[in-house]
Amino acid sequence: MNQKLTIVSNKKLTNNVYELVLKGDLVNIMHVPGQFIHIQVPRPDLILRRPISLAKIDHHNSTCTVVLRASGQGTQSIVDTKVGDSLNVMGPLGNGFPIDFLVNDNRALLIGGGIGIPPLLECAKQLYEKGVKCTIVLGFINHSAVFYETEFKQYGEVMIATDDGSYQIKGNVKTVIDQLDQTFNAIYACGPTGLTRMVNEYFKDHPNAYISLEERMACGIGACAGCTVTHVNKRSNYKVCSDGPVFKTNEVII
Ligand code: FES
């Protein structure tokens, strides 16, 4: 399903990371944290849509929030839009983070890195509303790259690692996870390949550990095989867009 959504807010979060709030009826069918929308670049010469995870879903105001890093012509063109402009959006797409099995007072560990943290925000919100206790570990390059700390603090305990030690803990998310002694009923992770690869291995035996993969996409709906990843048995493939982007740990080769 696709529809034009109106931009009601466009805010710079860090040097090249922007938060866009989009409004429209399509939001009414967005429910699952970890799903993504496929945004048409507002330039006729750039044909491929850009897959962007949902950071917030607000049914009351019919808005959804996405966070993008302006890293190429397509994403730059999207973040250059102004309030009142509209974007053609397809979605919601993919399989998000399973949270239905968790109950009040369960514990969840959320692990995010850089531009991969936004889908964990909606996940943390929905877990918090279920009474799940969230421990949230976020990794960034340095202090100036940190965003959404205040937003995550609404939903749980937040620990931040920076590569250069310029804010909170020096190191990466594994530095923090190594020091945690709680057991968790579920693990949710999203971030760059190094992070998801680490979590895929670190929690490979955990029964409820999930990673969300970032992958370049074309169709976004399982039709082009442009986003294939290999099953750990090496005998079958998955499509990140339609079988994922969320997978259990030890399910695919990263
Ligand atoms: Fe086409 Fe995933 S992007 S199959």
Atom of ligand 1 nearest to the CA of 240: 2
Give the number of other CB atoms < 10 A from CB of residue 164.
Answer: 11
Q: For ligand 1, is residue 241 a contact (CB within 6 Å)?
A: yes
Separation of CA 175 and ligand 1 centre (Å): 34
Q: Which residues contact 165 (CB under 8 A, 6 or more apart)?
A: 171
* Whole-number percent of the chain with pLDDT over 90: 94
pLDDT at 215: 85
Q: For ligand 1, is residue 229 a contact (CB within 6 Å)?
A: no
DSSP string, 206-240: -TTEEEE-----SSSSSSS-TTEEEBTTSS-EEET
For residue 16, name the pLDDT band (cuts at 50, 70, 90). Answer: very high
pLDDT at 235: 82
Per-residue model confidence as pLDDT tens digits over 144-190: 999 999 999 999 999 999 999 999 999 999 999 999 987 999 999 99
Separation of CA 91 and ligand 1 centre (Å): 14
pLDDT at 1: 82
- Give the integer Cα–Cα distance in Å for 40 and 177: 37
Which residue of 216, 224, 229, 237 sits with most ligand 1 atoms within 8 Å of its CB, as the best mutation to test the pocket? 224
**CA torsion, ordered 14, 9, 159, 126, to nearest 10 deg:** -160
For residue 36, pLDDT over 90 is answered with: yes
- Mean pLDDT, rounded, of the chain: 96
CA torsion through residues 174, 97, 67, 150, sign = negative
For residue 67, pLDDT over 80 is answered with: yes
Per-residue model confidence as pLDDT tens digits over 78-134: 999 999 999 999 999 999 999 999 999 999 999 999 999 999 999 999 999 999 999
57, β-bridge pairs: 64
- Give the integer Cα–Cα distance in Å for 119 and 151: 12
Separation of CA 216 and ligand 1 centre (Å): 9
Mean pLDDT, residues 12-23? 97
Q: Which residues contact 38 (CB under 8 A, 6 or more apart)?
A: 2, 49, 50, 51, 52, 89, 90, 91, 93, 217, 220
Give helix then strand counts, H and E, for the chain: 5, 15
Q: For ligand 1, is residue 226 a contact (CB within 6 Å)?
A: yes
For residue 65, name the pLDDT band (cuts at 50, 70, 90). Answer: very high
Q: Which pTM value belongs to this model? A: 0.96
Q: How distant, in Å, are the alpha carbons of 46, 77, 136 from that of 93?
A: 21, 22, 25
Atom of ligand 1 nearest to the CA of 222: 4
For residue 234, pLDDT over 90 is answered with: no
